[in-house]
Amino acid sequence: MEIATIIIAIGVLIFLAHFFGWLFSFVRIPDVLMLMAIGILLGPVLGVVSPDFFGRAGDAIIMIILVMILFEGAIKLKFSHLKKAMLGTITLGISSFLLTTAGVGLLLSQLVNFPLVPSFLIGAILGSNSTALVIPFIEKLRIKEESRTTLFLESSLSDVFSIVLTLALIASMELGVFQMETVVLDITANLALATMLGAFFAFVWSLVLNKIHNIQNSVFATPAFVFIVFGITEILGYSGLVSVIAFGIVLGNIPFLLSSLRENYGTLYDMFRPKPLSSRELSFFSEMVFIIKVFFFLFIGISLNFEDTSILLLALFLGILIFLLRLIAVLFSIPRSTPKFDASIMSVTAPRGLAPAVLALIPIQKGLEGGELIQDITYAVIFFSIFFTSLLIFLLYNTRTRKVYELLLPNFADNPRNNTKEYPGKEKEIPAP
């Protein structure tokens, strides 16, 4: 492919991504699904591009993508919002992740006769909602703020669970032995130390930002430091991804954390004057993640394997199972004060995306047996989960499917009757004369 053609294609794809994002507001079909469709057309269907197009740099590029996605999502995770949605976030995050991991693992090991650890490895990889997909969904969905916050925080929390458990299971596969106590202790120690490192680096960087903001064209400085935080943590033997999440959360909440420091330690605060990220930097990160998302989901579409129909059928069944387990998790974990329509939206918002896609590459990178099969199954499930989420949200908003889900979720609060745009199907109340 000629260089000029590649550059034209990149420009067209970025324009199409903006158009798809605009189209989402009207038809509720997410842009990532359309980007994956383009990837499928260019890859498996027409054979114009193959996954090998990215060359040896592909592994590093994929990891950079995940680091930036997790960092940008973590910055938006505010302590003040976490307080409001604490109960729903934690219960939904834990129950949905554990049900999915156990359900997928048991299905593969008992019914498909996969080895036990690889089966639960696939379950752990597929256990988390995609923050990169949930964010654009909830920004455009008309639901209560508490419900929107719960979905966002739950996706961030489940990403952490998925990353840590996946890395632990991969380590056990490398050692050839799985000991539950060892895995739990390793997960706890790794998570705690990586979190401490991330939080420490966040405070350090908040002090440096006071000087960095005075330098021209310094907007790339924070992403550069994020990569350094990831690299140092990995070199020390801990999870760089968890450290990046902690770094983003603490850095994004610096104003909240420093309010008590200013009140109780005014002299210390005036001496160092730690600074939060500027609105210009936050906007830049969002734009960067948008561009990253375009090419990553295109890559997923290109990488899908349509030659093995047995894998597609298995992935389709796993996708259906994930949504059934998601409904059960919502039924038993969300506060009963949540409106039925919001609970219905939560039960169908189960897209798998960036974190599972990147985690599925690690077994191949480490040369583990069955690595390619794990990747093929994961990528196919990602496609079906995004498709099901898109279809079900469209049906909830535009058909009587919402009545079915409300019957399945009987114990939740009635939908507000004073806003037909937010809660379709309800007649707008007419004030008494």
Between residues 266 and 325, the one the model is more confident about = 325
267: containing domain? 3-408
Contacts of 96 (CB under 8 A, 6+ apart): 127, 129, 154, 158, 325, 326, 329, 330, 333, 350
Global pTM value: 0.73
Domain assignment present for residue 144? The answer is yes
Q: How far apart (Å, rounded) are the C-alpha atoms in residues 313 and 134? A: 25
Structure tokens at 410: 């009987």
Give pLDDT tens digits for 244-270. 888 888 888 877 776 655 665 555 555
The model's confidence at residue 1, banded by pLDDT at 50, 70 and 90, is low
Secondary element (H or E) of residue 429: none
Between residues 90 and 215, the one the model is more confident about = 90
Calculate what percentage of the chain has a pLDDT beyond 70: 77
The model's confidence at residue 314, banded by pLDDT at 50, 70 and 90, is very high
Q: How far apart (Å, rounded) are the C-alpha atoms in residues 379 and 383? A: 6
How many domains, the chain?
1
pLDDT over 90 (residue 320) = yes
Buried b (16+ CB within 10 A) or exposed e, 218-243: bbebbbebbbebbeebeeeebbbbbb
Looking at residue 148, what is its pLDDT? 79
Ramachandran category for residue 55: left, alpha or beta (phi over 0 → left; psi -120 to 50 → alpha): left
Looking at residue 99, what is its pLDDT? 94
Among the listed ranges 57-66, 196-205, 362-371, which one has the minimum average pLDDT value? 57-66
DSSP sequence for 376-387? HHHHHHHHHHHH
Domain assignment present for residue 424? The answer is no
Domain assignment present for residue 422? The answer is no
Q: How far apart (Å, rounded) are the C-alpha atoms in residues 42 and 40? A: 6
Indicate which CATH number applies to the domain containing 140.
Answer: 1.20.1530.20
Q: What is the CA radius of gyration of the chain?
A: 22
Domain assignment present for residue 256? The answer is yes
> How many CB atoms neighbour CB 93 within 10 A?
24
Return the C-alpha torsion angle 188, 189, 192, 193, nearest 10: -160
Domain assignment present for residue 68? The answer is yes
Domain assignment present for residue 39? The answer is yes
pLDDT over 70 (residue 57) = no
Domain assignment present for residue 414? The answer is no
Domain assignment present for residue 116? The answer is yes
Looking at residue 321, what is its pLDDT? 95
User: Is residue 355 within 8 Å of residue 131, measured between CB atoms?
Assistant: yes
Average pLDDT in the chain: 77
Give pLDDT tens digits for 79-119. 766 666 666 678 888 899 999 999 999 999 888 888 888 89
